[in-house]
Structure 1
């Protein structure tokens, strides 16, 4: 008994060509390629959200408000590390 269901997706021609080339290069079927892409996409959301939450909280605790603050702290860290 088959446990998988067949679905149909629509891709622009250039994306299809890239996907086919990727599948061929990795010796995968298109189904394997898309299953792996979907697994990574679904698993990544929670991890990314958790990372953003942690880094935003840490940034706020350090008083960082914008990218200039990040750059300044990065420069300070690198200078201290060189000494």
Structure 2
């Protein structure tokens, strides 16, 4: 399958743009490569944050049900299977 690229224009304050250019040069990457890498890292961090939010939600619900250990939660989850 052929990869396609879509050119994008991003507006940055001048000091941030200079920092971005310096960072790209320091990393020996062009600005597109650096942006793709930064976006990938950002997406991974968001997924991790969402996962941790779900863990906190599940832990809160488990505590409300009196399920204080992982084994107790697993027993409840798998008892109907």
* Common fold by TM > 0.5: yes
Q: Between Structure 1 and Structure 2, which shows a larger proportion of helix residues?
A: 1
Q: Which residue of 2 aligns with 1:52?
A: 53
TM-score (norm 1): 0.59
Q: What stretches of structure 1 of length at least 5 have no aligned partner?
A: 63-83
How many positions carry a matched residue from both structures? 63
TM-score (norm 2): 0.61
Q: What stretches of structure 2 of length at least 5 have no aligned partner?
A: 64-81
Alpha-carbon distance in 2 for matches of 1:4, 1:60: 44
Structure 1 segments (4+ residues) deviating >3 Å:
55-62
RMSD over aligned Cα, in angstroms?
Answer: 2.5
Q: CA 1:27–1:61 in structure 2 vs 1: closer, same or farther (change >3 Å)?
A: same
